[in-house]
């Protein structure tokens, strides 16, 4: 049998065909592994919602501000907020993993709530901002972005620096919401300061950062559409 195999001649066309099939199989396995990693990154998480505070903010988003939601995927939370702003939702979601010291208590409070959400108390907010000796690097980044969002009015320059540093990190599924929040809030600060060109570049970079295939898996659809609406508004403003 060994002699027979050694004398077997495989045509060059067949070898090329088998090589292509092997490459396609490797791509499929890689895509499947990435999909599993993305789903695991968001399994059984809590999400804190932070909305914008201006006349364009709808009632539903005002009610969701500083509320904690439980969901397997961030898109579930986006749908539960039910934003009615015709320009798209501008709420940002920050993930809270089980490693956060306050996570277990917050999960119990969310389950007890009739609306499936829990309004953060001052004690909860303090625990989120200050606790974290055992947090992973991804959770520490979420904590840093959360601090920046809450301090935008008093220290906008520090917030801008935090957002730019967050965006500059290599994209990963576990960083998607932190980077999306950084894009959204950075564009907001720049637009409010009148720097429309830089704000427009930020929105374009955000749209480019999340491919069409993954954008609604990693991000809530209303929030992504809200960034698209901001981009369109900035284009019109820039062309005036």
One DSSP character per residue, the chain reads -HHHHHH----HHHHHHHHHHHHHHHHHHHHHHHHHHHHHHTTTEEEEEE---STT--HHHHHHTTEEEEESSHHHHHHHH----TT----EEEEE-TTSTTHHHHHHHHHHSTTSEEEPPHHHHHHHHH--TT--HHHHHHHHHHHHHHTTTT-HHHHHHHHHHHHHSPP-GGGHHHHHHHHHHHHHHHHHTT-HHHHHHHHHHHHHHS-TTTHHHHS-HHHHHHHHHHHHHHHHHHT-
Confidence check: pLDDT of 17 > 80:
no
Contact between 138 and 174 under an 8 Å Cβ cutoff? The reply is: yes
CA 27/CA 23 separation, integer angstroms: 6
Question: Which residues are CB-neighbours of 142 under 8 A, at least 6 positions away?
Answer: 94, 95, 96, 177, 178
9: in domain: no
The pair of three-digit structure tokens given for residue 69, joined into one six-digit string? 């939601």
State the total domains in the chain.
Answer: 1
How do beta strands 45-50 and 92-96 pair? antiparallel
pLDDT at res. 34: 52
At 237, the pLDDT band (50, 70, 90 cuts) reads confident
Give Dmax (Cα) for the chain: 82
Confidence check: pLDDT of 41 > 50:
no
- Beta bridge partners of residue 46, listed in sequence order: 70, 96
166: in domain: yes
21: in domain: no
Average pLDDT, the chain: 81
Q: Interior CA angle at 185 toward 65 and 225, to 5°?
A: 80
At 5, the pLDDT band (50, 70, 90 cuts) reads very low
pLDDT at res. 83: 86
Confidence check: pLDDT of 16 > 90:
no
Confidence check: pLDDT of 42 > 50:
no
Q: Write out the residue range of the structural domain in which residue 190 sits.
A: 41-238
pLDDT (mean) for 105-112 = 88
Contact between 179 and 167 under an 8 Å Cβ cutoff? The reply is: yes
| Tens-digit pLDDT profile for residues 172-230 | 888 888 999 999 999 999 998 989 999 999 999 998 888 766 676 677 778 888 888 89
8: in domain: no
Is the sign of the CA dihedral 153, 159, 164, 168 positive or negative?
negative
199: in domain: yes
* Percent of all residues in the chain with a pLDDT value above 90, rounded to a whole number: 26
Residue with tokens 């960034």: 227
Confidence check: pLDDT of 73 > 90:
no
Is the pTM higher than 0.95? The answer reads: no
């Amino acid at each position: 049998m060994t002699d027979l195999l050694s004398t077997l001649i495989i045509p060059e066309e067949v070898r090329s065909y088998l090589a292509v099939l092997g490459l396609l199989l490797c791509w499929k396995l890689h895509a499947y592994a990435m999909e599993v990693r993305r789903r695991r990154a968001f399994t059984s998480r809590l999400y804190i919602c932070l909305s914008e505070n201006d006349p364009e903010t709808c009632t539903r988003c005002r009610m969701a501000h500083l509320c904690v939601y439980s969901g397997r995927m961030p898109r579930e939370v986006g749908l539960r907020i039910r934003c009615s702003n015709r320009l798209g939702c501008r709420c940002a979601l920050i993930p809270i993993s089980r490693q956060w010291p306050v996570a277990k208590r917050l999960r119990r409070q969310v389950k007890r709530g009739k609306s499936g959400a829990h309004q953060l108390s001052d004690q909860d907010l303090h625990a989120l901002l200050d606790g974290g000796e055992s947090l992973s690097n991804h959770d520490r980044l979420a904590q840093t972005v959360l601090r920046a969002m809450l301090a935008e009015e008093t220290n906008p320059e520090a917030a801008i620096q935090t957002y730019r540093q967050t965006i500059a990190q290599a994209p990963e599924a576990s960083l998607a919401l932190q980077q999306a929040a950084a894009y959204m809030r950075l564009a907001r600060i720049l637009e409010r300061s009148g720097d429309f060109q830089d704000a427009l570049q930020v929105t374009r970079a955000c749209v480019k950062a999340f491919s069409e295939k993954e954008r609604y898996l990693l991000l809530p659809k209303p929030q992504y559409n809200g960034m698209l609406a901001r981009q369109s508004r900035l284009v019109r403003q820039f062309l005036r």
